[in-house]
Chain A
Amino acid sequence: MKFGIVTFPGSNCDYDAYQGVVETLGEEATYLWHKDHDLQGSDVIILPGGFSYGDYLRAGAIARFSPIMQDVAAHAKRGGPVLGICNGFQIACEAGLLPGALLRNESLKYIAEFVKLRVENTETLFTNRYEQGETLLIPIAHGDGRYTADETTLDRLEGEGRVVFRYVGGRRDAEEFWSPNGSMRAIAGIINDAGNVLGMMPHPERAMDDLLGSDDGLGVFESVLARVGV
């Protein structure tokens, strides 16, 4: 299976994603340049973390208009898997591939630390290798991660099982919801209604090996592999 990793000016987790896919998973990966119109036959598209276009105006607002994003949107519309991580999640929201928006962290501080996530739905393309309610240790590294949407959208996301990851525990109780960034309803990751576009603020590609402190992120990639195959 081939992963296409988009490099925008200011992306900085594209290499991590590439390493994770190629070295850890042993799958094929290629970089996709933001000015191109060619997905190079990729089966899965990764919108990586970073600060595309310097986060000018709003995080993800400018990247959304990159030439390659037209092709990514078409791929998503065809049902092709798209994984938006961190800045990729922000871009996916700005592009309308996912509902809601990611605003400045409530603390107004950039947060880089390991957090606990609970897998809320194990039926998705990206989470089928996890156990229901499993708690994962995956790092976050962002200044704008406060997931925000209107109540109707939030209720709909929850009702349809589209809240895929939630922050839990913090440093206290692993069962309790806790938003490190002020996210509404402690949302860390959501999926679109067709089930092929996942956006998440935590970085699974930075948790692919025990050497990095956790390999809990592997499941996201293994789940896509299990479902898409090839």
Chain B
Amino acid sequence: MNRYRIAVHITPRRGILDPQGRTVADALHTLGFSAVHDVHVGRHVVVELDAGDEKAAAESTRAMCEKLLANPVTEDFEIASVDAS
């Protein structure tokens, strides 16, 4: 068993109204970042766990996302990184 540190990005599904993202985009426009055309605000979750290898660690985290960390109705998730720690 090795210890892994896995980062997950959870974002509102595209097409679903994201008022937080829209508000941040408006603020960026006000600050002069006129090239910004969309912002999505989500969550960044870091899980530390023991697993046989990187693949098993990622698979286990994927299952956690499907069961709890992300809402399958409204959110998408991606495993951003898997690091041995």
Contacts and interface: CB of A to CB of B under 8 A. Distances in A.
B20 A104 contact: yes
B71 A94 contact: yes
Contacts of A58: 71
Chain B interface SS verdict (over half): mixed
A89 to B, nearest CB: 14
Nearest to A61: B68
A182 interface: yes
Interface string B50-85: 000000000000000000110101100000000000
- Range class of the A interface residue count: 20 to 34
Interface string A96-137: 000111011111100000000000000000000000000000
Contact of A107 (B12, B16, B19, B73): B19
A104 B74 CA distance: 12
A101 B19 contact: no
Contacts of A104: 19-20
Given A57-B68, A103-B16, A148-B16, A108 B74 contact: no
B2 interface: no
Interface of B: 12, 16-17, 19-20, 23, 68-69, 71, 73-74
